[in-house]
A and B are shown apart, each in its own frame.
Chain A
Amino acid sequence: MKALHALPVIKTLASVKGSIAAAYLLLLIVGAVFAPWLSPYPYDQQDLTIMNQPPSMTHLMGTDEFGRDVLSRLITGARTSLSVSVTAISVSVLSGLILGAVCGYFGGTFDRVVMIAVDLTWSFPEILIALMLVAIIGPGLQGVVLAIAIAYLAQFTRLTRTQVMVLKGETFVEATVNLGAGHTHILFAHLLPNVLAPVLVAAMLATGDAIILEATLGFFGLGAQPPTPSWGAMMSSGTAQLFIAPWVILLPGLAVALTVIFLNLFGDAIIAALDIRTKLREA
């Protein structure tokens, strides 16, 4: 039996930054999932008599220009931010794994064509891709998900492809071919399991960037449409009251910053626990 303390999960949680980051992220996820029950007020309940109130005992994080409770909107906004970025990154990882594995394993013309296409998406700024997509399919969360997914596709495809190409030359793969194994067995039993760890860590780090991208798009009014709260949109509406009610813009900004920082710290802790820094650098 592998000793318990050698398990990467345990090692990650045992490190200081790993455990703090995990605690924050867990809190965030619980908040997002149970938002309707945890928010003290409905996120869209307006009360024009208490506009732009500073934090108080009744409204822990104050109210915005429509008298809505900022804390409730922040919790519900976490829902939007997390679900959009996690969905987008999942789509991106899944497509990247499939494309990268096929390209890296079989090579040839297909590989060359796909890699040119994929590299093309890499050469555009993410925000530009997002703007183009929104122009085509209109504002809304679908456009944002698709934009983020495409923006990060190149990274995961490249990482998977490089790893598969390295692994393909390993003796244990040749040994499996020699046993009479076909492509499916080699891909699913040896290659993909061995690339999964670095890809998942890269995905965790990319989720942080995706949250920023989602907030940016929301800030420009391209993401969630009112009254659905998102951190980016909240900051956008907060700009008008920057000097009267700074908490309206600062608190969602802080939420974005903290989430990204802790996602990166958690990713770092996992990298250290899995000892895969060099693998990530190769790609």
Chain B
Amino acid sequence: MSDLLSVDHLSRRFTNAGLFQKRQVFHAVSDVSFTLARGQILGVVGESGCGKSTLARLILRLIQPSEGSVWFDGIDMASLSRADLRRLRQRMQLVFQDPYSAIDPRYRVRDALLEPFKVQGVKLKSADATVASLLEMVGLNPALTHSYPHQLSGGQKQRIGIARALALNPSLVVLDEPTASLDVSVQAQIIALLNRLRESLGLTYLFISHDLGLVRYFCDKILVMYLGRIVEIMPSDALPAHPYTRALLDSTFEPDPRQRRTIARLSGEIPSGYNPPPGCAFAARCPRVSGLCRTTLPPLQPLTDRHQAACHHPLAGEARPETVQQIDTRLSAVP
């Protein structure tokens, strides 16, 4: 299995300098490295401001990195000319969080679906047949061909967004919280659709979400971000070693009233990326914090061959991939 995507020490800082303001540097993404194998689903989890959306745009080179490199299918993205990059874009696509604003309000469904071909200069034998097959692929009624976006529901719009992204037959699809603004029932439909499309088209997904429960369900591998840095990379069936991932897991609302628990509440809030603390960014909220955490940044260290965490005091013994039964036993044993 070869890596489709390889991200190497990627960083991005934004400088904010107004006329009468002090120059401020915002650390959006810091020193992120990971690989994504062909056909895999990698989940990127974190709360707002953790840099997950910036990471997506860095990978797709919609914004330029400050440092580091992105290799897509063996190609260093930085080495590409403008024209080559534009051509490569058909192989890596993005599905947006907000389907309401991702389609030009003046474009009918048909125009929105044909735009990718127009942009890439692809001549179609039959535009009508292409539109019809794209609509069918995402489970939409062909009667919607001439509708405007405002006439569609959120779920329908998101399906159009997915069809647009898949029109040019990409290998990598970055899904930036594609269900965050949808009802849970519509979310279930979209996730099922994405899963079906992945299997039939052999796609590789980078799935960005704030919902660890959903990511554990949908992804093979999970990358957890906090304040621009990776705090943990783990298989989705493993138990978290980093206290932040643990807190995220404890914060998901399990749909089972018998498993109601007083959530291990995190005090405090995420520090600002303008002024990241010298040590571990999570130190101020961490139940396992020590003096070392406040002064020294913990490096991302391997716990097993598939599990890495950036923590001075990882949760012991929980790094090993476990079966679902083991997890449940353990959880019910926790007082």
Interface residues of A (CB under 8 A from B): 1-2, 170-172, 174-182, 185, 189-190, 193-194
Number of chain B residues close to chain A: CB under 8 A: 28
CB distance from B315 to the nearest CB of A (A): 38
Which residues of B have CB within 8 Å of A193?
106
B171 contacts the other chain (Cβ, under 8 Å)? Answer: no
Q: Which residues of A contact B90 (CB under 8 A)?
A: 179-180
Contact check, A180 vs B86: say whether CB atoms are below 8 A apart: yes
Measured between alpha carbons, how far is A160 from B104 in the docked complex, in Å? 18
**Which residues in B have their C-beta under 8 angstroms from that of A190?**
104
- Tell me, rounded to whole Å, the shortest Cβ–Cβ distance linking A74 to chain B: 41
Interface centre among A1, A170, A180 (most CB of B within 10 A): A180
A171 to B102, CA, bound (A): 5
Instruction: Please judge, given known A-B contacts A178-B93, A179-B89, whether A172 and B119 are in contact too, CB under 8 Å.
Output: no
Check: B311 CB closer than 8 A to any chain A CB.
no
Q: Do residues A180 and B101 form an inter-chain contact, with CB atoms below 8 A? A: no
**B104 neighbours in A (Cβ, 8 Å):** 172, 176, 190, 194
Say whether A180 contacts B89, CB under 8 Å. Answer: yes
Decide yes or no whether B42 CB sits under 8 A from chain A: no
Given A178-B62, A180-B87, A171 contacting B116 (CB threshold 8 A): no
Indicate whether B168 reaches chain A with its CB closer than 8 angstroms: yes
Contact between B146 and A174, CB atoms less than 8 A apart: no
User: Distance in Å from the Cβ of B261 to the closest Cβ of chain A?
Assistant: 38
Query: Complex Cα distance A178/B116, Å?
Result: 9
Q: Which of A1, A171, A182 contacts B101 (CB 8 A)?
A: A171
CB pair A176–B101 under 8 Å, yes or no, is no
Contact flags (1/0) for B138-171 with A, using CB distance below 8 Å? 0000000010100000000000010010001000
Query: Smallest distance from the beta carbon of B138 to chain A beta carbons, Å?
Result: 16
B94 at the A interface (CB under 8 A): yes
Q: Are A171 and B168 in contact (CB under 8 A)?
A: no
Pairs A–B under 8 Å by Cβ, sample size 11: A170-B101, A171-B98, A171-B102, A175-B102, A175-B164, A176-B119, A178-B89, A178-B94, A181-B119, A194-B104, A194-B105
B106 close to A179 (CB less than 8 A):
no
B96 interface residue (CB < 8 Å to A)? yes
A181 to B94, CA, bound (A): 14
Closest 8 CB pairs of A and B: A180-B89, A180-B86, A171-B101, A181-B119, A172-B104, A171-B102, A179-B119, A178-B94
From A171, A177, A182, give the contact of B96 (CB < 8 A): A171
Query: Which of A1, A171, A181, A182 counts the most B-chain CB atoms under 10 A from its CB?
Result: A171
Interface assignment of B252: CB less than 8 Å from any CB of chain A? no
Chain B hits for A181, CB < 8 A: 86, 119
Give the interface centre of B86, B88, B119, B148 by most chain A CB atoms within 10 Å. Answer: B119
